[in-house]
């Protein structure tokens, strides 16, 4: 029971970190970046090759993944989404799905469909013993990383000038522009942060579930998107809450109901929550299109 | 006076815009001198807000040119126009509702707070120093309107008149050379309007900036504007001092009708 709870929180922490990317981009650019999940996969591959091919230490590999994904996020936004800034939201959504397939297929070409086994980068770190239960280091690090990211990001958005600019752009792009805020730069920054976080999530995910394929990012991406909606899209604490709840529900579903039905349970919970509270758990009134 | 002081803050030549086949503004030529308070009046739908949108590049002009402090604004985006020295308020208030009063002002200060991402995330001394400076500056600006004690209140919880005043403070924070006020007295009672008039003069004197305002309250317009431009159907029909405008036949006709039509 406790072991399942801890596993659930750990998995949920990964979802939460990914969900942050969805929720921040949605909050500021008012779009759903469905390619976000695939950025996780790219992060995983970069870390994988940094370790296995280059022989870099894990910390450097994580850094490399963050740098590449951050750049990738900025490039995706600049090339695929920026030209559509004034297009209908449906056009942007379809483009995002296109980018997602593009990344998956590019990965297929570059890295083939062979499943890679991700090394356990936290091998040397000690686990934690709670009575008879052993908690893996990756579990602890995932939860800690989630907490650190959440606190840093909250402070960043509330206390720094870039964070305030993000919130201003999220409310009224036109007024923000006329008050001297560079909206394009602010949106770029949001993508950079979201994608950098996706890289961290990618490494954590691949360490906990050590298989890596070009499609590795899509299911966690969809689940994290679900988590973001579940918690209230656009809300940072909502992404955290939604992610963790989703992780716990998934693991409990697997443990006590059925391994095969666990995903169905996750999405059923989402549907029920949205029926009762359409804005999500912590969502405020949403008057924006999808 | 040196040449620099004589140079107009803003000068438009043959400015115009069409929406489809409709000419909304045409042959709009004005000069705004440094520290001048200019009024822009005209009947409803005359194109006053459209002119503000042209000056701030929200709309791209179809014709003509805008010189801002001697600089050609032809290739400037709205952000660049703001950085070059025009700030504005909005007819229908557009504050950042979910941000506090102080944060709204800090958005205006954004370009003048200098620290990078790294300092911001890791809260290096530079972050603290610059944020402290911004905080003091924001309170100082809010104090012009006696709003410093409401700094931590959410913007949307302010009463209507205070929201209008906050918009002016936010615009001032961007350190403009020219402040455009779109109906600053709308919804204010006579005593609030009188106070606003004093404050607009005070801002002009303290910050040494030019002000152009759209307003329907003729007491305010005639009371503080040194010069008034009257537009109707997107064209200037009269220009002059309040006294000249009050007796101008074209103006009287535009506002009241000629009497011949009916």
Write the pLDDT tens digit of every residue in B76-97.
Answer: 999 999 999 999 999 999 999 9
pLDDT of residue B1: 46
Residue of A nearest to B115 (CA): A161
Q: Are strands B71-72 and B63-68 parallel, antiparallel or unpaired?
A: antiparallel
**Residue pLDDT, tens place only, B126-159:** 999 999 999 999 999 999 999 999 999 999 999 9
Q: Are strands A133-135 and B63-68 parallel, antiparallel or unpaired?
A: unpaired
Residues of B in contact with A181 (CB under 8 A): 79, 107, 110
A102 within domain boundaries: yes
Encode burial over A220-241: b for 16+ CB neighbours within 10 A, e otherwise. bbbbbbbbbbbbbbbbbebbbb
Dist. CA B95–CA B163, nearest whole Å: 8
Q: One digit per residue, pLDDT tens: chain A, 290 residues?
A: 888 999 999 999 999 999 999 999 999 998 999 999 999 999 999 999 999 999 999 999 999 999 999 999 999 999 999 999 889 989 999 999 999 999 999 999 999 999 999 998 887 777 777 777 788 888 989 999 999 999 999 999 999 999 999 999 999 999 999 999 999 999 999 999 999 999 999 999 999 999 999 999 999 999 999 999 999 988 899 999 999 999 999 999 999 988 888 889 888 888 898 898 888 888 765 454 33
Residues of B in contact with A189 (CB under 8 A): 117
Q: Which residue has the tokens 């305030």?
A: A164
Closest partner residue to A178 (CB to CB) among B56, B98, B120 is: B56
Cβ of B99 within 8 Å of Cβ of A164? The answer is: yes
Residues of B in contact with A172 (CB under 8 A): 94, 96
CA nearest to B201, candidates B182, B176, B219, B220: B220
pLDDT of residue A285: 58
Q: Which one is predicted more confidently, A78 or B21?
A: A78
* Residue B111 binned pLDDT confidence (cut-offs 50, 70, 90): very high
Residue A178 near chain B (CB below 8 Å): yes
Residue A163 near chain B (CB below 8 Å): yes
Residue A30 near chain B (CB below 8 Å): no
Closest partner residue to B120 (CB to CB) among A156, A175, A180 is: A156
A290 within domain boundaries: no
ipTM summary value: 0.89
Encode burial over A163-182: b for 16+ CB neighbours within 10 A, e otherwise. bbbbbbbbbbbebbbbbbbb
A235 near A142, Cβ under 8 Å?
no
**Tokens, residue A32:** 């759903």
Dist. CA B30–CA B191, nearest whole Å: 32
CA nearest to B225, candidates B248, B243, B209, B238: B243
Q: Give the range of the structural domain holding residue A87, as residue numbers without chain letter.
A: 2-276
Q: How far is B111 from chain A (nearest CA, A)?
A: 7
CA nearest to A139, candidates A45, A7, A243: A7
At residue A128, the 3 state secondary structure works out as: strand
Closest partner residue to A176 (CB to CB) among B107, B121, B130 is: B107
Could you state, in order of their start, the residue ranges of all structural domains in chain B? Answer: 1-85+176-262, 95-174
Residue of B nearest to A160 (CA): B120
- Alpha-carbon A236 to chain mean position: 12
Q: Which residue has the tokens 């920054």?
A: A189
Q: Are strands B178-182 and B210-214 parallel, antiparallel or unpaired?
A: parallel
SS3 assignment for chain B: CCHHHHCCCEEEEEEEEEECCEEEEEEECCEECCCCEEEEECCCCCCHHHHHHHHCCCCCCCEEEEEECCEECCCCCHHHHHHHCEEECCCCCCCCCCCEHHHHHHHHHHHHCCCCHHHHHHCCHHHHHHHHHHHHHHHHHHHHCCCHHHCCCEHHHCCHHHHHHHHHHHHHHCCCCEEEEECCCCCCCHHHHHHHHHHHHHHHHHHCCEEEEECCCHHHHHHHCCEEEEEECCEEEEEECHHHHHHCHHHHHHHHCCCCCC
Cβ of B88 within 8 Å of Cβ of A178? The answer is: yes
A287 within domain boundaries: no
A149 near A200, Cβ under 8 Å?
yes
Dist. CA A265–CA A157, nearest whole Å: 33
pLDDT of residue A74: 97
| Cross-strand partners of B17 | B25
Q: What CATH number does residue A36 fall under? A: 1.10.3470
C-alpha atoms less than 13 angstroms from C-alpha of B160 in its C-beta half-sphere = 10
Cβ of B107 within 8 Å of Cβ of A165? The answer is: yes
Dist. CA B223–CA B243, nearest whole Å: 11
Residues of B in contact with A156 (CB under 8 A): 120-121
Q: pTM score, two decimals?
A: 0.89
Residue of A nearest to B77 (CA): A177
Cβ of A159 within 8 Å of Cβ of B170? The answer is: no
Residues of A in contact with B106 (CB under 8 A): 161, 164
A255 within domain boundaries: yes
Q: How far is B169 from chain A (nearest CA, A)?
A: 11
| Cross-strand partners of B16 | B63
Dist. CA A272–CA A277, nearest whole Å: 8
A240 near A79, Cβ under 8 Å?
no
Residues of B in contact with A152 (CB under 8 A): 121
**Residue pLDDT, tens place only, B44-73:** 889 999 999 999 999 999 999 999 999 999
pLDDT of residue B81: 96
A133 within domain boundaries: yes
Closest partner residue to A167 (CB to CB) among B77, B90, B99 is: B99
pLDDT of residue A269: 85
Cβ of A176 within 8 Å of Cβ of B174? The answer is: no
Closest partner residue to A182 (CB to CB) among B79, B95, B107 is: B79
Q: Quote the number of domains for chain A.
A: 1
At residue A129, the 3 state secondary structure works out as: strand
Cβ of B79 within 8 Å of Cβ of A163? The answer is: no
Dist. CA B90–CA B53, nearest whole Å: 10
Torsion sign, CA atoms B246, B247, B249, B253: positive
The pLDDT of B109-113, averaged and rounded, is 94
Cβ of B96 within 8 Å of Cβ of A162? The answer is: no
pLDDT of residue A123: 78
**Tokens, residue B179:** 């402040």
Fold designation for B1-85+176-262: Rossmann fold (3.40.50)
Phi, psi of B229, rounded to the nearest 5 degrees: -110, 130
CA nearest to A194, candidates A1, A4, A16: A16
Closest partner residue to B107 (CB to CB) among A156, A181, A189 is: A181
Cβ of A162 within 8 Å of Cβ of B174? The answer is: no
Residue of A nearest to B124 (CA): A160
Phi, psi of A229, rounded to the nearest 5 degrees: -70, -40
Dist. CA A43–CA A197, nearest whole Å: 10
Residues of A in contact with B54 (CB under 8 A): none
Residue A159 near chain B (CB below 8 Å): yes
- Alpha-carbon B191 to chain mean position: 22
Dist. CA A18–CA A221, nearest whole Å: 7
A74 within domain boundaries: yes
Q: Which helix (H) or strand (E) holds A226?
A: helix A218-231
Residues of A in contact with B82 (CB under 8 A): 177-180
């Amino acid at each position: 029971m406790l072991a399942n709870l801890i596993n659930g929180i750990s998995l949920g922490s990964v979802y939460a970190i990914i969900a942050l990317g969805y929720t921040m981009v949605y909050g500021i650019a008012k779009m759903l970046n469905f390619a976000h999940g695939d950025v996780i996969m790219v992060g995983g591959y970069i870390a994988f090759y940094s370790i296995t091919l280059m022989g870099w230490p894990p910390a450097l590999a994580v850094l490399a993944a963050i740098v590449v994904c951050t750049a990738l996020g900025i490039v995706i936004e600049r090339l695929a989404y920026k030209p559509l800034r004034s297009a209908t939201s449906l056009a942007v959504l379809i483009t995002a799905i296109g980018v997602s397939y593009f990344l998956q297929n590019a990965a297929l070409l570059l890295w083939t469909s062979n499943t890679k086994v991700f090394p356990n980068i936290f091998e040397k770190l000690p686990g934690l013993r709670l009575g008879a239960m052993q908690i893996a280091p990756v579990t602890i690090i995932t939860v800690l990383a989630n907490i650190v990211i959440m606190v840093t990001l909250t402070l960043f958005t509330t206390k720094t000038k870039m964070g305030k600019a993000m919130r201003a752009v999220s409310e009224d792009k036109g007024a923000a522009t006329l008050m001297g805020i560079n909206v394009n730069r602010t949106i770029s920054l949001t993508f950079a942060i979201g994608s950098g976080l996706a890289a961290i999530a990618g490494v954590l995910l691949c360490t906990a579930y050590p298989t890596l394929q070009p499609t590795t990012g899509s299911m966690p991406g969809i689940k994290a998107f679900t988590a973001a909606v579940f918690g209230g899209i656009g809300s940072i604490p909502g992404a955290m809450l939604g992610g963790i709840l989703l992780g716990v529900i998934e693991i409990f579903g697997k443990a006590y109901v059925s391994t095969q039905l666990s995903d169905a349970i996750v999405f059923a919970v989402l549907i029920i929550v949205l029926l009762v509270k359409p804005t999500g758990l912590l969502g405020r009134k949403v008057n924006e299109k999808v | 006076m040196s040449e620099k002081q004589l140079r107009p803050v803003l000068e438009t030549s043959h400015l115009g815009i069409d929406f489809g086949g409709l000419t909304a503004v045409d042959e709009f030529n004005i000069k705004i001198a440094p520290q001048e308070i200019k009024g822009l009046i005209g009947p409803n739908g005359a194109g006053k807000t459209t002119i503000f949108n042209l000056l701030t590049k929200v709309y791209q002009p179809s014709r003509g040119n805008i010189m801002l402090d001697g600089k050609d604004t032809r290739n400037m985006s709205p952000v660049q126009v703001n950085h070059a020295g025009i700030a504005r308020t909005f007819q229908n208030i557009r504050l950042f509702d979910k941000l506090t009063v102080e944060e709204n002002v800090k958005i205006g200060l954004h370009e003048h707070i200098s620290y990078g991402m790294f300092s911001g995330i890791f809260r290096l001394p530079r972050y603290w120093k610059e944020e402290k400076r911004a905080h003091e500056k924001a309170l100082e600006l809010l104090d012009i309107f006696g709003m410093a004690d409401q700094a931590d209140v959410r913007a949307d919880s302010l009463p209507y008149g205070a929201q209008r005043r906050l918009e002016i403070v936010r615009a001032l924070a961007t350190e403009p050379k020219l402040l455009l006020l779109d109906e600053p007295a709308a919804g204010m009672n006579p005593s609030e309007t009188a106070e606003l008039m004093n404050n607009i003069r005070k801002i002009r004197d303290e910050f040494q900036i030019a002000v152009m305002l759209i307003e329907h309250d003729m007491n305010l317009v005639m009371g503080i504007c040194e010069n008034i431009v009257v537009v109707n159907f997107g064209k200037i029909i009269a220009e002059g001092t309040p006294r000249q405008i009050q007796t101008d036949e074209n103006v009287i006709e535009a506002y009241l009708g000629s009497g011949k039509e009916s």
